[in-house]
Chain A
């Protein structure tokens, strides 16, 4: 369950220390944009030490590494992978070849330190026009990939258009990304909402993303986490309806009915699939008690 993924700057010890107290389902320790070029070495060592020492129990750990077009990414992986992050996030991923090169290096590092091969998962950040167009080949490029993440700030710069709160300019990219991710059987994560103080705008943006099929949303401010978690959690009404679906199916079986209706609507396979997704999500968030 990854409803909310929060970016934290990799060279800020105060924020790293509080990483799993912010209610995000995952934290993204950032070695890329949040770190100045002359501090890359310091951030890499700090994040490695934090992962080795601080036991983040309440959330998944993702580390955003520097791009494959820099001189930093191999050092990033060699330092970070042995410390056992759950997921590596490569940036500006352009195509399957990018993932193949990255995965080969991750495998080499896992081998060299005696780790289980394939333990480290990958969440590619797609933030260029070519990356979005290659979303499906990227999503199926390696078994380590658990989802696709859309980065709209760099993308809109690449598209030479203005980034707006309404997000009309990224509608195609959002739907393309979700389609590719779902076709590949992985998750899709939406771009952060960058106005820290506009919580109403955040809610609208998150609701839109969820309605398009995203699994969760990233954030660059801890204040956004509660809202994102709420929007990407099933409501009590959703849960009750999902339970009713399965109760109606059971009742239909007892009565020997081939087709069952609920609230005047035929229960077909997509309705059952959605109901199961709701109950799975509810179980992951609230535990078994709610069911």
Chain B
């Protein structure tokens, strides 16, 4: 699955994560999190797992996390990827 445009999902509220994705040739993750010290590896592993499941091999992924649960991170990332692969949707 190829990204064709930049897309955003999620919010900056507590327990949520804002995900921005844009087309790129490789996967690159930029993470800012209120729980970065404890969970950055876990969050990045989750991101890679979602990208693999959705067959996404190239994307710049910018994450601003405010303590989102794993299921929220997965949901926001999936939403952003789907939005980035569809024409005419933000």
How far does the Cβ of A280 sit from chain B's closest Cβ, in whole Å? 36
Scan A50-64; emit 1 where CB is below 8 A from any B CB, else 0: 101110000000000
Q: Contact at B76–A54, with CB atoms within 8 Å?
A: no
Assembled-state Cα–Cα distance A12/B76 (Å): 11
| Contact (A17, B76) CB under 8 Å given A41-B83, A54-B71 | no
Select one of B16, B78, B79, B90 contacting A13, CB under 8 A. Answer: B16
Task: Pick the residue among A12, A17, A45, A48 that contacts B69 (CB under 8 A).
Answer: A17
B71–A50 CB distance below 8 A? yes
Question: A38 near B68 (CB under 8 angstroms)?
Answer: no
- Which B residues touch A12, using CB under 8 A? 13, 16
B76 contact from A14, A42, A48, Cβ within 8 A: A42
Give the size range of B's interface with the partner: 10 to 19
Contacts A14-B14, A14-B16: A49 and B79 contacting too (C-beta < 8 A)?
A: no
Q: Is A46 an interface residue (CB 8 A)?
A: yes
Number of A-B contacts (CB under 8 A): 47
How many chain A residues touch the partner (CB < 8 A)? Answer: 15
Q: Mark A29-48, 1 if CB is under 8 A from B, else 0.
A: 00000000010011001101
Contact yes or no, B72 A13, CB < 8 A:
yes
- B10 contacts A53, CB within 8 Å? no
Identify which of A14, A42, A49 contacts B74 (C-beta below 8 A): A49
For the complex formed, measure the closest distance between the CB of B65 and the CB atoms of chain A, giving whole angstroms.
Answer: 11
Give the Cβ gap from A12 to chain B, nearest Cβ, in Å.
8
Q: Are B69 and A53 in contact, with the CB atoms below 8 A?
A: yes
Say which residue of A38, A42, A52 sits within 8 Å of B71 (CB atoms): A52
Q: Is B82 a contact of A41 with CB atoms below 8 Å?
A: yes
User: Which A residues are in CB contact (< 8 Å) with B15?
Assistant: 13-14, 17
Residues of A within 8 A of B90 (CB): 38
B residues less than 8 Å from A45 (CB atoms)? 75, 78-79
